[in-house]
Structure 1
């Protein structure tokens, strides 16, 4: 049986709307004599990441724990903190094609939610990137206390969109999140880049 056409869009932030230039972290690591990729490896280690994504610790506390874990590599706690602070000053860049698509979708009368595993810094990032008013709702894992790909996350997102799961199209660049959304009853599309926008426009009839 064919699925109903989606009447709402739930879109991931990092990797879809926001892009990160890997040269920034690489430059910080080079300047501080760190091994390539170590900042991301420490920050994304699940023991440090999971608490901040569910709101149990703040973004600032998360970064402090990253600096603590980095200290043995640097040999000086002050240098470790400085490296992390410099790395964190860069807040990414908006993909203009994706932003244009989101505006088209909303102009067509389709509700759009930002659905992201994020920290308590999200609102400040959205403001800094001039994205605060680009969404009908924002579903931040650290606010609701549960992260993708848990079914409870997608239930909360659909409730925020006031749309049944079968009518929500979810777009994310991570396979686990896409699988979780499908298990929760949403349509879900694995994002590969702006070339996918043609398909998404057709799926939403915009």
Structure 2
């Protein structure tokens, strides 16, 4: 019998932070790059992996992207965009914490994560930040979720992960976390109920 979660692990990108696809599209058009080239190049796994497990810095990762595209100005402009906080998700996080339920951000991220959180006004809005580049392991590995459990002071079956990746949700369930595939703010009433909030 599954216990009710007593802690929340929330994904950053795609859940708490939103990205406007028009921003990179505009940059690509202005710099003569193919549509989608910035994200496609940055997210190539052999290029991305070292950055999200702390083997290279954000700056080194982006330098590689700039070299590959021969477009340093475009990459620099793209990097100045930090996305936007989803106000409904932030309000939910605040409500969860007010109810005494600890919340952590769990993100595959680089050494720039703390600066991003500060720029977004999220510093102090959660009880812990589990950054893959600091842990040295990425979602959905066991090591990443073990670090999340330690940060929240909970066993796996006491934590609810909310993530927009099916693969990460499945990985969390394998190691015993409750996990919910995020589809958008319409999911919030269900999540409040899952955590026993009114």
TM-score, normalized by length of structure 1? 0.95
* Residue 138 (structure 1) aligns with: 129
Q: Could you report, residue by residue, the CA deviation over 1:85-141 in whole angstroms, capped at 9, with x for unpaired residues?
A: 011111000000000000000000001010000000000010011101011110000
Q: Could you report, residue by residue, the CA deviation over 1:52-108 in whole angstroms, capped at 9, with x for unpaired residues?
A: 00000000000000001102xxxxxxxx11010011111000000000000000000
2:110 pairs with 1:119: yes
Q: Which 4+ runs in 1 deviate beyond 3 A? A: none
Alignment RMSD, CA only? 0.5
2:140 pairs with 1:149: yes
* Residue 75 (structure 1) aligns with: none
* Residue 74 (structure 1) aligns with: none
* Residue 98 (structure 1) aligns with: 89
* Residue 166 (structure 2) aligns with: 175
How far off its partner does 1:195 sit? 0.3
In the alignment, structure 2 segments of 5+ residues that lack a partner are none
| Mapping 1:76-87, distance limit 5 Å | 80-87=71-78
Q: Could you report, residue by residue, the CA deviation over 1:148-199 in whole angstroms, capped at 9, with x for unpaired residues?
A: 0101110110011100100100000001100110001000000000000010
Query: May I ask how many residue pairs the two structures share in their alignment?
Result: 197
In the alignment, structure 1 segments of 5+ residues that lack a partner are 72-79
Larger radius of gyration: 1
How far off its partner does 1:46 sit? 0.3
| Mapping 1:1-206, distance limit 5 Å | 2-71=1-70, 80-206=71-197
Q: Could you report, residue by residue, the CA deviation over 1:21-71 in whole angstroms, capped at 9, with x for unpaired residues?
A: 000000000001111000000000001100000000000000000001102
Specify the SS of the correspondent of 2:27: helix
TM-score, normalized by length of structure 2? 0.99
